Amino acid sequence: MTQSTERDRVLIFDTTLRDGEQSPGATMSHAEKLEIASMLDEMGVDIIEAGFPIASEGDFKAVSEIARASRNAVICGLSRANIGDIDRCWEAVRHAARPRIHTFIGTSPLHRAIPNLTQDEMVERIHQTVTHARNLCDNVQWSPMDATRTEEDYLCRVVETAIKAGATTINIPDTVGYTAPRESAELIRMLIEKVPGADEVVFATHCHNDLGMATANALAAVEGGARQIECTINGLGERAGNTALEEVVMALRVRGDIMPFTTGVDSTKLMAISRRVATVSGFPVQFNKAIVGKNAFAHESGIHQDGMLKNAETFEIMRPADVGLKETNIVMGKHSGRAALRSKLSELGFDLADNQLKDVFVRFKALADRKKEVYDDDLLALMRDQADETQDRIQVKFLRVVCGTQSPQTAELVLTIDGEDHEVTATGDGPVDATFNAVKQLFSHEARLQLYQVHAVTEGTDAQATVSVRMEENGRIVTGQSADTDTVVASARAYVNALNRLLVRREKSAPDSDVKTVNYLDAN
């Protein structure tokens, strides 16, 4: 495909499983990666960057399995600019019906200083590695990392070198979220006009959100001639995140009058995958997040409500159904049966086998006995806990706390660790502190608590509380979540959930096995 054949088609390149997973604490399990890849493929994403194969054996296996299972999307792996990385990447993606190798090197003055290469030496490295990748695969993407801070003349030179060496896609990354919309468009336009052979490749844009302009910069790049947008579900990614897939897809759909471009993404699947990524990553979607946030289609103002009742278009530029949010709402409660539960969960993006439904139904009934009404968010929290506990080595079996104005507060806790029950009573400065102290006594660790946060899932005094816990140990950051009508129980489960994720990270803690330990700047 070249830019001259499909001027109005924008390819969506999803890097949730690679750049998104690099966000501290967002590491996904092997099964979760396969699940998200399947959802992306079904949704119509054009290219899935499945991982960084050289980073770890786990990443290699995940990319390989995703490559084998893909039905429609191009499956891409990331590689630094060296022969060993590229070979490893090819071994992982070669099983895909449509494989791609994505190789990169930092070209700005700051990044060139890391491997201590002169401009000429870097050009030679680019030619050598892109040529090697193209000899393995006919679909090669090349990126000059930190392109937006690279000298214009040198950027043109390295892009021309990559094209001559056989790159079929040239990605221009705003690696540190430095650029602005007008500059983003002008940069792509300049490269297309000045670089020989630019009309024979696809130009892509990869933007970070450090200044809050990732989506705007990506759309501006399309105006400048880019025909591929690199993005992630919910804007997940390092630091302030990446361009949000749901935002660019819906912006192009809603504002086709001024941006006459199309994508192949089925937007009705956006809400389901947004919720699933939030669950498996442990990064909740902010309430006022564009497109997929809880309040994106909520109206409280009297003027807004009156306008909505008369004509929804007065205050909504897209329909909830456009992004997969059902406008009808079946109220769930203790009298609801399995069929109603299955239907509601299907609307929320969960298709369960009979045995899975049976397990969830038991939990649903227990929750419904404690709440008058069970809302969608309650069910999402229920499904998150269900998914987590199926693979947890540590589980909360029993918790009883004593709290109030009289000190000390105490927690009596029973944890099931690797199938065996362990019991302790601990004290603390409040019931949550006592509970966390009890967990630490039963399962000793050196992780430091970075974040403890509580949000009500729904309204009312019987609402479930969603608790988020972030912990750090030796540079490894993990996030745990849980929900319960009892805030202290939710706190215990979230803390234990984080510990379980930490155990997984410990198992991959060898220096060459953790994706976050790979030095992206070292292209040697």
Residue 208 among known ligand-binding residues: yes
Q: CA 211, CA 379: separation in Å to the nearest integer?
A: 35
Q: CA 428, CA 402: separation in Å to the nearest integer?
A: 10
Q: CA 292, CA 247: separation in Å to the nearest integer?
A: 9
What does the pLDDT read at residue 302? 43
Distance of CA 121 to the CA centre of its chain: 36
What does the pLDDT read at residue 370? 76
CB 240 within 8 A of CB 213: no
Q: CA 82, CA 33: separation in Å to the nearest integer?
A: 26
What does the pLDDT read at residue 434? 94
- Report long-range pairs for 65-69 (Cβ below 8 Å, ≥24 apart): 65/30, 65/34, 66/17, 66/33, 66/34, 66/37, 66/96, 67/92, 67/93, 67/94, 67/95, 67/96, 67/99, 68/95, 68/96, 69/34, 69/37, 69/38, 69/41
Residue 335 among known ligand-binding residues: no
Q: CA 238, CA 19: separation in Å to the nearest integer?
A: 7
CB 76 within 8 A of CB 42: no
Q: Give the full edge-to-edge strand order of the sheet including 448-456.
A: 448-456, 465-473, 476-484
Q: What tokens does 194 get?
A: 């000045």
CB 443 within 8 A of CB 394: yes
What does the pLDDT read at residue 366? 82
Residue 319 has phi, psi (to 5 degrees) of -85, 145
Residue 424 has phi, psi (to 5 degrees) of -155, 155
Q: CA 476, CA 502: separation in Å to the nearest integer?
A: 8
Q: What is the pLDDT along the chain (524 residues), one digit of tens a residue?
A: 344 345 699 999 999 999 998 887 777 888 889 999 999 999 999 999 999 999 989 899 999 999 999 999 999 999 999 999 999 999 999 999 999 999 999 999 999 988 889 999 999 999 999 999 999 999 999 999 999 999 999 999 999 999 999 999 999 999 999 999 999 999 999 999 999 999 999 999 999 999 999 999 999 999 999 999 999 999 999 999 999 999 999 999 999 999 999 999 999 999 999 988 988 887 888 888 999 987 787 644 444 434 434 555 554 678 888 888 765 455 677 778 888 888 888 877 788 888 888 888 888 888 888 777 777 777 877 776 666 555 678 999 999 999 888 778 999 999 999 989 999 999 999 999 999 999 999 999 999 999 898 988 777 777 788 888 989 988 888 888 888 889 999 999 999 988 988 887 777 654 433 334 455 555 44
Q: Is 456 helix (H, G, I), strand (E, B) or coil?
A: strand
Q: CA 377, CA 399: separation in Å to the nearest integer?
A: 24
Q: CA 383, CA 482: separation in Å to the nearest integer?
A: 10
Q: How are the residues of the chain apportioned to helix, strand and coil, as percentages rounded to the nearest 5?
A: 45, 20, 35
Residue 242 among known ligand-binding residues: yes
CB 120 within 8 A of CB 112: no
Q: What tokens does 27 get?
A: 């590491």
Residue 206 among known ligand-binding residues: yes
E runs forming strands in 146-283: 169-174, 202-207, 228-231
Q: CA 351, CA 114: separation in Å to the nearest integer?
A: 48
Side chain identity at residue 385, one-letter code: D
